[in-house]
């Protein structure tokens, strides 16, 4: 290498050394060295500090939205849980209702059992927030025959005096409540009644106080006197009413205008007290079935009588008690009446009647019996009083779910002091429960036997088709 080459190399080394020294001096003053073509990257600033106000607002809105969504989800969960709880409650209520229906399959017994409108309806009830309306009905057709064995004059009879089809009853009933389930109403009409369609119209109210039950009924209805009278005609246990109710001068009161109050201090005991217009005249002068079955004016002895009003200032009073022990019911009935004397309207007669009764019904065996007495004291001086007695016993047995056999014995003495008026009726029959109580066929053979005089004996045969599809 030449001397010139060495000098060049030496000059280059000195230049590099001088440059490096100047850089170090600047780094000492400025803390950081700066070179052309290279710059030290600064540490990134905190992102929170770099967010704009708009971005912060957007994030806040998103947070609120998420909170709302979470609240909605929580509400949905709570609603779902509430619905599930409600479903469970409804299921339990339905179970209880079904249980009650099963438990009440056995027909009720006693005074007032199964009176009109007390069955559970088959068809749905129309309900609104202001009340309800239920339609019910009973339709009965009958085929009757009557054979007279002997006439009253003693001559031989053996004459068929009746052989006919008869449309016996066609009753429509409306019942429900208004505003409150404790405030009820009931209406019944009969298309087969040629005097008037209207039979019953009343309103009722029931409430509880201190564990005791109270009820009141006002209007026109059959009072709860005797076991059988208040019941619907679909539940008479035979084709006919007992003869002591429907015979001449019978004990039946039929439909009355008035008020009846019920009191049940315990579930087993019910006491009923009623005040009614009552009998217009004694039952021998004015048969109750003529005067009180329909709501219409009737003419008796030239006098027009309408039993929806009463000019008699003296009213009739009823007091009954019914005690239930499971399938057994015991009853006691009393009635005090003060009708106008039929011969002298300025005088009042006095009637007191009543008696005990018992009923057993377990759904298979049905036994019922009553004994009644009555004292009729005429108002005018010198008139003889009349004492009447009557009673009946009924036995029914469900051989199968379809077939029931029945037997009944009725006895009625209109006047204990009179001769040749005592009557006994013997009834035997079979009832077909085709669609439970809603469609039945009743076949009854009965014989009316005058116990004190064997003349005028009758044998009757009744064949009744009973349809209660709306019941």
Higher pLDDT pick, 462 / 410: 410
- Predicted confidence at residue 36, as pLDDT, reads 45
Pick the CATH number of 102-467 from 1.10.3210.10, 2.40.160.10, 3.40.50.300, 2.40.10.10: 2.40.160.10
| pLDDT tens-digit map of 96-127 | 554 554 444 555 666 556 555 455 545 556 77
This prediction has a pTM of 0.71
User: Is residue 338 pLDDT above 80, yes or no?
Assistant: yes
The CA distance from 175 to 188, in Å, is 9
- Predicted confidence at residue 62, as pLDDT, reads 75
- Predicted confidence at residue 25, as pLDDT, reads 47
**Nearest C-alpha neighbor of 175 from the set 135, 220, 221, 209:** 135
Higher pLDDT pick, 368 / 105: 368
The CA distance from 300 to 285, in Å, is 9
Q: Is 326 helix (H, G, I), strand (E, B) or coil?
A: coil
Beta bridge partners of 203: 185, 218
User: Is residue 420 pLDDT above 80, yes or no?
Assistant: no
- Predicted confidence at residue 66, as pLDDT, reads 74
| Contact predicate 413/421, CB 8 Å | yes
Per DSSP bridges, beta strands 269-276 and 316-325 are: antiparallel
In sequence order, which residues have a C-beta less than 8 Å from that of residue 325 and are 6 or more positions away?
268
Segments making up each domain of the chain, as ranges: 102-467
User: Is residue 136 pLDDT above 60, yes or no?
Assistant: yes
Assign residue 382 a region: left if phi > 0, alpha if psi is -120 to 50, beta otherwise? left
The CA distance from 85 to 229, in Å, is 47
Q: Is 42 helix (H, G, I), strand (E, B) or coil?
A: coil
**Nearest C-alpha neighbor of 470 from the set 189, 123, 126, 191:** 123
Tell me 235's DSSP state.
G
Rounded to the nearest angstrom, the gap between the alpha carbon of residue 423 and the centroid of all alpha carbons in its chain is: 38
| Contact predicate 394/404, CB 8 Å | no
In sequence order, which residues have a C-beta less than 8 Å from that of residue 33 and are 6 or more positions away?
23, 26, 27
Least confident piece of the model among 69-73, 89-93, 450-454, 458-462: 89-93
């Amino acid at each position: 290498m030449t001397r010139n080459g060495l000098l060049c190399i030496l000059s280059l080394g000195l230049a590099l050394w001088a440059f490096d020294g100047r850089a170090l001096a600047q780094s000492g003053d400025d803390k950081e060295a700066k070179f052309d073509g290279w710059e030290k990257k600064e540490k990134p600033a905190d992102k929170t500090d770099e967010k704009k106000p708009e971005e912060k607002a957007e994030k806040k809105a998103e947070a609120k939205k998420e909170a709302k969504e979470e609240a909605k989800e929580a509400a949905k969960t709570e609603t779902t849980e509430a619905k599930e709880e409600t479903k469970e409650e409804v299921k339990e209520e339905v179970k209880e209702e079904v249980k009650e229906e099963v438990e009440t399959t056995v027909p009720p017994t006693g005074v007032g059992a199964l009176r009109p409108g007390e069955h559970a309806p088959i068809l749905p009830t129309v309900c609104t927030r202001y009340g309800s309306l239920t339609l019910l009905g009973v339709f009965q057709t009958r085929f009757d025959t009557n054979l007279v064995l002997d006439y009253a004059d003693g001559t031989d009879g053996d004459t068929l005096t009746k052989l006919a089809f008869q449309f016996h009853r066609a009753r429509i009933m409306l019942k429900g409540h208004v505003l409150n389930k404790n405030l009820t109403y009931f209406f019944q009409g009969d298309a087969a009644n040629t005097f008037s369609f209207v039979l019953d119209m009343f309103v009722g109210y029931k409430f509880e106080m201190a564990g005791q039950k109270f009820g009141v009924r006002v209007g026109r209805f059959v009072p709860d006197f005797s076991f059988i009278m208040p019941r619907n005609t679909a539940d008479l246990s035979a084709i006919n009413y007992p003869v002591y109710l429907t015979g001449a001068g019978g004990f039946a009161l039929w439909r009355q205008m008035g008020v009846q109050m019920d009191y049940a201090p315990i579930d087993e005991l019910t006491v009923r007290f009623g005040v009614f217009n009552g009998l217009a005249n004694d039952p021998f002068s004015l048969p109750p079935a003529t005067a009180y079955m329909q709501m219409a004016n009737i003419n008796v002895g030239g006098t027009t009588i309408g039993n929806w009003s009463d000019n008699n200032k003296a009213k009739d009073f009823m007091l009954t008690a019914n005690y239930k022990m499971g399938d057994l019911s015991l009853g006691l009935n009393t009635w005090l009446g003060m009708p106008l004397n039929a011969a002298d309207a300025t005088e009042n007669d006095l009637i007191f009647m009543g008696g005990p009764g018992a009923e057993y019904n377990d759904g298979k065996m049905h036994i019922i019996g009553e004994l009644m007495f009555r004292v009729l004291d005429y108002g005018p001086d010198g008139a003889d009083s009349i004492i009447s007695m009557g009673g009946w016993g009924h036995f029914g047995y469900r051989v199968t779910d379809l077939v029931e056999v029945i037997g009944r014995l009725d006895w009625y003495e209109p006047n204990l002091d009179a001769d040749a008026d005592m009557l006994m009726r013997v009834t035997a029959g079979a009832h077909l429960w085709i669609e439970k109580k809603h469609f039945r066929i009743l076949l009854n053979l009965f014989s009316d036997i005058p116990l004190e005089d064997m003349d005028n004996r009758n044998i009757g045969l009744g064949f009744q088709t009973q349809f209660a599809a709306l019941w």
